[in-house]
Amino acid sequence: MKKVPFVTKAQIEEIVKKYPTPFHIYDEKGIRENAKALYEAFSWNKGFKEYFAVKATPNPFLMQLLKEYGCGSDCSSMAELMLSEAAGITGKDIMFSSNDTPLEEFAYCEKLGGIINLDDITHIEAVEKSVGYLPKTMSCRYNPGGVFQMSNGIMDNPGDSKYGMTEAQIVQAFQIMKEKGVENFGIHAFLASNTVTNEYYPMLAKVLFELAVKLKEKTGAKITFINLSGGIGIPYTPQQEANDIYIIGEGVKKVYEEVLVPAGMGDVALYTELGRYMMGPYGALVTQVIHEKHIHKEYIGTDACAANLMRPAIYGAYHHITVLGKEDETCDYTYDVTGSLCENCDKFAVDRKLPKIDKGDYLFIHDAGAHGHSMGYNYNGKLRSAELLLKENGEVQLIRRAETLKDYFATLDCFEIGKKLTTM
């Protein structure tokens, strides 16, 4: 699929007058259209709800945009619970899918009225200890083990993953919790990440729906929802074809009618916890070229670095790059596009075919809307950039300011040397 930036060079030249590069920018129109389509695709299911995976893009303004469509939030830490609360997302609009969980986080989730999705059977006791009782609605995360393979070769390895419980453990967990007064049950599984195929969700749905039927038969538990979690991917490369959420919705519907309806479970609500799919394509890292270097290879140096977007550095992930204003020029140069960290993996692109790049050019690094800014860090004393929202009316709204050196030194401010640094 051809990669087209959602801003032009002229727009960026205007924006940088107020907000210097590098920055992350999000496309309100794209976010809205995508959220609307997701809800349409699952409108056949009465209780459908998307719990946006906050970790992908933990910005309360974006969370509020999604809330307009009915989205809740999927949290996995204290900070994410607090962000959700601040964004006005509380009660059953919170899903708490955490693992290796500190006790006080269960209590905070319950205080907000959120749904706790247990990662481990021992967490039944942990919740009782933390909350003082078991909430009336509880969910369990499933790990079927083995490998999960789709026909296009995409494979993931649940057997090697730290998450979830075995089937026998969930049976036991449901029995224990039912005895202790839990009334509504849910199940959840996340078996493959960033799947660019319409096949994943229906296959996962079959696994979970069949488990739900078994659990109902074995434990008599009332299963009120099934959480298909995240994992629907996005096409990072121009060669990949995007998922079709309507085909995915229809695929899940077919399995729902084959497995759940005949078992008398046609009232089960479906939940999703998408992160990347909701935000990935609708955010970009915009950076300016500040340097070029010609040694054994051709290097283009930018004013951003892996601290702004670390996926290429840690996973070798591909992020498409458009040189703004040169969209139609032929890509007859080969560059490594780098950041300034003292780590050789700090390259946004390696051996990338691009048009001739000049100092001062703006690069639009695509698909940085999820796991982009959120994975930011301060290595080498680099500061996290601002986040901007390109509104539907063309205006730009600052939704997180850039860090300053004062922020960077803040954790030293209880010492004399820190006071000196923060006032320098």
Ligand X SMILES: *Cc1c(COP(=O)(O)O)cnc(C)c1O
Interface residues with ligand X (CB under 6 A)? 53, 55-56, 74, 97, 190, 193-194, 229-231, 273-277, 370
Is the CB of 276 or the CB of 382 nearer to ligand X? Answer: 276
> 140 phi and psi, to 5 degrees?
-130, 140
| Smallest distance, ligand X to C-beta of residue 84, A | 14
Is the CB of 118 or the CB of 274 nearer to ligand X? Answer: 274
CA of residue 424 relative to chain centroid, distance: 37
Is the CB of 67 or the CB of 276 nearer to ligand X? Answer: 276
Distance CA 119, CA 276 (A): 21
Q: Which residue is nearest to ligand X (CB)?
A: 230
- Which residues of 275-361 form beta strands (DSSP E)? 283-294, 298-302, 321-323, 333-338, 347-354
Contacts 24+ apart (CB under 8 A), 291-297: 291/359, 292/357, 292/358, 292/359, 297/336
| Smallest distance, ligand X to C-beta of residue 386, A | 23
Is the CB of 53 or the CB of 307 nearer to ligand X? Answer: 53
| Smallest distance, ligand X to C-beta of residue 58, A | 12
- CB 191 within 8 Å of CB 180: no
Instruction: Report the SS3 class of residue 111.
Output: helix
Is the CB of 371 or the CB of 382 nearer to ligand X? Answer: 371
**CA trace torsion 354, 358, 364, 366 (10° rounding):** 20
Reference 109, options 138, 78, 133, 87; nearest CA is: 78
Is the CB of 158 or the CB of 355 nearer to ligand X? Answer: 158
Is the CB of 76 or the CB of 302 nearer to ligand X? Answer: 76
Is the CB of 105 or the CB of 273 nearer to ligand X? Answer: 273
Q: What angle do CA 30, 191, 35 make, to 5 degrees?
A: 15
Distance CA 46, CA 54 (A): 24
Distance CA 310, CA 372 (A): 7
Is the CB of 182 or the CB of 370 nearer to ligand X? Answer: 370
Distance CA 114, CA 108 (A): 9
Q: Supply the Cα-derived Rg of the chain in whole angstroms.
A: 23
Reference 26, options 275, 366, 282; nearest CA is: 282
Is the CB of 135 or the CB of 230 nearer to ligand X? Answer: 230
Is the CB of 59 or the CB of 229 nearer to ligand X? Answer: 229
Instruction: Report the SS3 class of residue 86.
Output: helix
| Smallest distance, ligand X to C-beta of residue 312, A | 17
| Smallest distance, ligand X to C-beta of residue 100, A | 12
Q: Which two tokens stand for residue 82?
A: 């607090």
| Smallest distance, ligand X to C-beta of residue 339, A | 24
| Smallest distance, ligand X to C-beta of residue 395, A | 28
Residue 342 burial by Cβ neighbours in a 10 Å radius (0-12, 13-18, 19+): exposed
| Smallest distance, ligand X to C-beta of residue 230, A | 2
| Smallest distance, ligand X to C-beta of residue 310, A | 15
| Smallest distance, ligand X to C-beta of residue 136, A | 22
Q: Which residues of 353-376 are buried (b: 16+ CB within 10 A; e: fewer)?
A: ebbebeeebbbbbbbbbbbbbbbb
| Smallest distance, ligand X to C-beta of residue 164, A | 10
* CA distances from residue 259 to 50, 116, 340 in whole angstroms, order as listed: 22, 26, 54
